[in-house]
Structure formats: C-alpha cells, structure tokens
Amino acid sequence: MLYFVIKCALSGIIIAAVSEIAKRSPAFGALIVSLPLLSLLSFLWLWRDTGDAERIAGVSETTFWYVLPSLPLFLILPAMLRAGAGFWPSLAASCAVTVILYFITAWVLARFGIHL
C-alpha cells in the first residue's frame, strides 16, 4: 500500500509542478507537458511491478498509436478559445473529437491487423 501511495504522490507532484511552471512560463510549461513524463513513469512503475519487457513494449507501441488521434485536441482547443467559445465547451468538444478519433484509429488499425 505504501508503494501505491508513493507512486500516486510522485505522479501528483509532477503534475502540480508542471501547472505551477506553466503559470510563470506557458512555453516552458508546454515543453514539459509535451515530454512523455506520464508514459515514462508508467514504464518505470510497470517494470518495477512486473519486470515484463514484452508488456512494456506493448504499452509503448499502443501509446504511440493513441497519441496520434489525440494531437488534434491541441489545435481544436486553442482555436475554439480564440474564437470566443467558453473554456468548458471548448474542452468538451476537443475531448469528444479525440474520443471519436480514438475509435476511428482503432478501427482503421484493426483493418491492417494492428489491434489496440
């Protein structure tokens, strides 16, 4: 249980630190957010928990495929905000498009024999 609490605390501290950095410097905050910190932490925790290289390889490869349909979120959200849409509707629309693109990506990849 202590191990789980440590994982949660460390992950939370990183997220909180990034949000504080972004308040002071949006560009530096964006740079840090763009780093695959969550993925790297997940790989580290998974290696520590299982030692299973194949499982980590699978998570890494699947993450690659799921990153691609998430990229439009980072264009839709600012476009809607700059067009005067509210924050919550913009975030909701961006997330909805991302979810739809996840399903489309999974469907297209399955037709090529790649199952996520």
Answer yes or no: is 45 within a domain. no
pLDDT digits (tens, 9 = 90+) for 4-63: 898 888 888 888 988 899 999 988 888 888 878 888 988 999 999 999 999 999 999 999
pLDDT confidence of residue 103: 96
Specify the pTM: 0.78
In the chain, the number of structural domains is: 1
Structural domain span for residue 71: 54-116
Give 26's contacts (C-beta < 8 A, 6+ positions apart): none
Answer yes or no: is 108 within a domain. yes
Answer yes or no: is 3 within a domain. no
Give 105's contacts (C-beta < 8 A, 6+ positions apart): 65, 66, 68, 69, 116
pLDDT confidence of residue 60: 94
Give 116's contacts (C-beta < 8 A, 6+ positions apart): 62, 65, 66, 105, 106, 109, 110
pLDDT digits (tens, 9 = 90+) for 54-87: 999 999 999 999 999 999 999 999 999 999 999 9
Residues 107, 114: Cα–Cα separation, whole Å: 9
